[in-house]
Structure 1
Amino acid sequence: MKPNSFTLLTIFFFLSFPISTSSSSNVSAIFAFGDSTIDSGNNNRFRTLFRGDHLPYGRDFPSHFPTGRFSNGKIAIDYLANILGIKDLLPAYLDPHLTDQDLLTGVSFGSGGSGIDMSTVALARVMDLSTQFELFEESLQRIRRVVGVEKANNIIENALFVVSIGTNDMLYNAYLLPANMIRYGSISVYQDFLLQNLQSFIQRLYGAGAGRIVVAGVPPIGCLPIQMTISSILPSFHWLHRHCNVQQNTDSEAYNYKLQSHIHLLQSMLTDVKVAYFDIYTPIMDMVQYPAKYGFVQTLEGCCGTGLLEMGPVCNVFDPICMDPSKYLFWDAVHLTQRGYSILAESGRQYLIPYITS
């Protein structure tokens, strides 16, 4: 099937380095839902292995304190909040220090390790999308008590809703525990299952009054350090070689293409809301393939420990850390460094933000 012009536009969104744009916007707040890519500390409240509230996570954060963000410092959603002129950092909704005033300009409901598939969530013992949405409804009640119903509705209508999820589902169920695919028959059918559930969640946001919704695709999963490590030790084409897993990247591209189709369909149905696709695959792949272009010296390993497998509790104060994290694309074996996230956000500044705020 020949891609339409919007699909082609998203493909070329991130082929050039972003130019500077004004930080002011008409966006009132940011509300983020999903996994560790946008979790700014919610998982600190849960008994789960998926936590980043310990050093060396957060070592390059403004306070040099581990907040629960899965990076050495800020994550992309923090940079987006700053780009939009809203605030410097997007706090976690479950942060015990969160104030009502903080809430008025948005929070993250994200939960590291979460997924669209309930089996993913059960494995990680974190918050699913339905629980995150329930917390959003709770936050909306708080906002209404502070500013009244009319102003609260205005905040929601002019807010940016960001959804970033799906990678963990593919990691756990398609690759790490492939037996889970038996009930679906193929990865493609499993992706359809995920995307149908994701579409239902987006419609739920619309029903709650969201006027601007951005949905991130998945990264080139085969280029995550942990996946390259696993591929290199299993008998396969990648055995004993540290390369991106081509098939897993092909799967990621297929998922993203289907996601764009779902978004196009939703946009045609929901004419009074803007729904946009955020391509993170292309810029991450570009950084992996052309590190010098972005000032990186290492894009195949993480900065923490050996950089091959460490993440969460295994990335800790006993691990050696690379000399300069800004020269690394990945902080641990799954998550980007602060520098990597800043480049993703700058990509959004050039192409995504102008569309969603026009």
Structure 2
Amino acid sequence: MDLSYYCTTSQFKYAVLAVTTTASYLILLGSAGKVPGVIVFGDSSVDAGNNNQISTVLKSNFRPYGRDFFGGRPTGRFSNGRIPPDFISEALGLRPFVPAYLDPQFNISDFAAGVCFASAGTGFDNATSNVLNVIPLWQELEYYKEYQKKLVAYAGEQKAKDIINESLYIISVGTNDFLENYYTLPRTRSKYKSIVQFQDFLIGMAEKFVRELHGLGARKMSLTGLPPMGCLPLERARNYVNGNGDGCFDGYNVVALHFNQKLNGLAEKMNGELEGIRVVFSNPYDVFMDIVKKPSQFGFDVASVACCATGVFEMGYLCDQMNPFTCSDASKYVFWDSFHPTQKTSSIVVDYMMKHSLHEFL
């Protein structure tokens, strides 16, 4: 495996050590602490590069994406650098990044310490993944089943069982179901007569997913809530006339708040019904809103537009490194592109979640 794919600087040695030894230590010495790995399902908020390997226009494996990642190389993460699972993995004493399952640079010896199945553009609803031809959530689960078989062959049945049972499962999905499905596709709005009906449908799909994961051996899970969707630069631009004084569109933010309440209720329900499980609700909404409303308190200069290009509508292929408007220092911006936070924002959000929900797994 060519690890220069990720690193060319002094961080190269760190990442080489992390990737080549973590899995080996797990096999030789047992689990590293209480959580031996981080296993990720979801959308672009947590996709480490799986979309690179599928036929879709929703990709980010080119500059300026990844310019602040190890070695400055784009990996398919929708960020200038690392994304939340990377920071969570590091906070748990594991590697500083979680590799994508479909990335040919990695194999099962790497995935034993954590793996990402997420696909940018997907959702709980299969119709969401169809919009941009990305990996549906059910297929992410099929990849996970395949991973389990490889893990048993690599580590042995007992070690594989320990990793499967004790790893932290991150589920971060839902934003696309609303912004790219319900509010975009007339057929979805005609099928679900109210946003509440659609929310309840999504919660039902989330419950089904959690139950399936539990049946496959997962015991430690984090259900990640939605951010203030109405404050994303793209949605600010789309709904400019409906925005409030701070530029955010309150309608979408209210939907996010209500959906988060339902996700929190689902976590409590699963803890009461499924044996041996511990599900936490990780809520990024409040800290994200604080960052957007008071950016200077977190060391940011700009919260209304993104770093890439004009910062208003660019994402994916529209995020062109040659655009003269792209900012030189992403750490001054809350958002990297019109839909996704910068590495710095993700770090702050993860720090908040580690203190308020994920600390249970330390």
TM-score, normalising length from structure 2? 0.88
Q: Does 1:211 align with 2:219?
A: yes
Q: Which amino acid aligns with 2:223?
A: V
Q: CA deviation at 1:293?
A: 1.1
Q: Does 1:316 align with 2:324?
A: no
Written as runs of structure 1 = structure 2, the 5 A alignment for 1:1-358 is 25-178=33-186, 180-232=188-240, 236-238=241-243, 243-319=247-323, 320-357=325-362
Give secondary structure in 2 for the equivalent of 1:31: strand
Task: Pick which of 332-341 and 95-104 moved more.
Answer: 95-104
Q: CA deviation at 1:179?
A: 5.2
- Tell me, in whole angstroms, the C-alpha distance in 1 between the residues paired with 2:76 and 2:242: 37
RMSD of Structure 2 on Structure 1 (CA): 1.4
Q: CA deviation at 1:267?
A: 0.8
Contact 1:228-1:242 at 8 Å conserved across structures: no
Give secondary structure in 2 for the equivalent of 1:335: coil
Contact 1:40-1:92 at 8 Å conserved across structures: yes
Report what 2:19 is aligned to.
none
Q: CA deviation at 1:178?
A: 4.9
Q: Which amino acid aligns with 2:204?
A: Q
Between 1 and 2, higher relative CO (CA 8 Å, sep ≥ 6) is seen in 1
Task: Pick which of 347-356 and 57-66 moved more.
Answer: 347-356
Give secondary structure in 2 for the equivalent of 1:302: coil
Q: Which amino acid aligns with 1:74?
A: R
- Tell me, in whole angstroms, the C-alpha distance in 2 between the residues paired with 1:269 and 1:180: 31
Contact 2:183-2:189 at 8 Å conserved across structures: no
Q: Which amino acid aligns with 2:345?
A: G
Contact 1:229-1:242 at 8 Å conserved across structures: no
The runs of at least 4 aligned residues of structure 1 exceeding 4 Å deviation read none
Contact 1:276-1:356 at 8 Å conserved across structures: no
> Structure 2: which 5+ residue stretches go unaligned?
1-31
Q: Which amino acid aligns with 1:322?
A: C
Q: Which amino acid aligns with 1:151?
A: K
Contact 1:56-1:315 at 8 Å conserved across structures: yes
> Structure 1: which 5+ residue stretches go unaligned?
1-23
Q: CA deviation at 1:49?
A: 1.3
Q: Which amino acid aligns with 1:353?
A: L
Taking a change above 3 Å as real, the CA distance of residues 26 and 261 of structure 1, as seen in their structure-2 partners, is same
- Tell me, in whole angstroms, the C-alpha distance in 2 between the residues paired with 1:117 and 1:36: 15
Q: CA deviation at 1:344?
A: 1.2
TM-score, normalising length from structure 1? 0.89
Contact 1:71-1:335 at 8 Å conserved across structures: yes
- CA deviations over 1:249-270 (Å, ceiling 9, x no partner): 0111011001111111111101
Report what 2:21 is aligned to.
none
Contact 2:301-2:333 at 8 Å conserved across structures: yes
Give secondary structure in 1 for the equivalent of 2:218: coil
- Tell me, in whole angstroms, the C-alpha distance in 2 between the residues paired with 1:242 and 1:307: 17
Give secondary structure in 2 for the equivalent of 1:301: coil
Contact 2:225-2:282 at 8 Å conserved across structures: yes
Taking a change above 3 Å as real, the CA distance of residues 217 and 178 of structure 1, as seen in their structure-2 partners, is farther
- Tell me, in whole angstroms, the C-alpha distance in 2 between the residues paired with 1:125 and 1:190: 21
Give secondary structure in 2 for the equivalent of 1:330: coil
